[in-house]
Structure 1
């Protein structure tokens, strides 16, 4: 699968939400021949949650964002990207719904197939790649959370993506319901066919780790000949990873998916500067069979201040460097 060209020909990105959006923008800047997005399906809040409950469909929100990220850069594609992301205002039944969510849901009802619906939207946007749900059934996230009682040793069960992401306690472990769900066959094929596979960044317990709770996804990633890169978050997220170090983020991957094997852990060079901490990170990465790479990937705003998002241009350069160094 690996060859001598300066950039991977086929990139498959796993994740969800804004983290996956930025990664897909970076993947496009690498100019591969094809991009695949493998997207979490556990969202139960907002417009996605409403459509999930009312129509018994997989939540479309993260899928919509991936489609928007892959829309053609020409005027036609950017119009559709903006339309997909547009949310209705007001106070009526449509308030808060994203147009793209309704479009995906409607196409699914007409076509009777999730992948056909996503491909139809991709055709409208002249997409740079395909978008797949990691599963073709909606998943629920359930977490063991400490710190919700006076006694910090007491664990409480919190269920639902929104509840887990916004908990004031500390998440110790997550599960998906149903247990060991079947992965989307096309998503597994996209992993198997890739030259590069990325995981993250994103909400660690609700967008990243759920992929690793599907045994066939872990097997596909671990056995793939692709260059496999975990893109670490820039900062802990309020709620589910509050107070987490970079090292603990890695340990959580190993704890939830002991069989997972990857090649590189990509970390912003300004986030971890202590040599002692870097030594700890190197040991943690070895549990996944990986090496740590420190590169500049953080976005700056128009006044030169760092944000908490990855810059697609910097991230693309980092991914190309990893490919060249492989």
Structure 2
């Protein structure tokens, strides 16, 4: 077994390297094991490093030490290599995917990571890229785009940066007229505030956009919120953060295996916090696309969740416009 740690020194407001290096050194000073540490220098490095290590063959644990951007890059380097398992040491400002597991502090425990269990989990294919957590179009993609304006400010946390980006975006024209198709259903025109396709519940520093999502259950969760007045948007965001937007009449939600979105103009796409642009996109599930390392102390709980596979939630209908809505 090889252990590879890819550290983004810019993550965590520049503290990722000084946070992670002592933890790795402390563990391997007292335990045998073959390990490598890479420090990225520029955008795209993590993908190239991960792909190079994966192509060496042999079983390997590759850890993304940074934020969502680092994980996104490492993921896109290891897809298609069944010999590799992905781990996350969450040094970024948001760390939304690991929030699903509850105790994020344990992801910094190198022993729990090394002794962790690799579980097959689903990922989202979006054009030529892959995402682990969530993909979206609409105001939230614009917010993710604007979030970069605030992430580097001293004292601004991930959730605070997201909140500031919301305020900034609030004064822009954020609504989109989109053609959306869920799975093999009909295409429907929607004046859209948010359109999210999710593998796990959280994004944006803790917004619970897909409260029932379970990575590894063979389904994606979608949430589509229609455009409303700016005053309504303010009240909506509070509910959205708690995952209570699904109770609103303006929200359509359910399970799917794919979501196709198109528009008459180019729009921003949010893929795990990375921003791309297109006039059309298809988000689709790649079932058991990678193996994800769940720290040893959390593995039994996650295994139980996968076995139960959203009891009481499996019957949610998915074709638009017959999807779940509430008054």
Structure with bigger strand share is 2
Q: Is TM-score (shorter-chain normalized) higher than 0.5?
A: no
Q: In which range does the TM-score fall when normalised by the shorter chain?
A: under 0.3
Higher normalized helix content (fraction of residues): 1
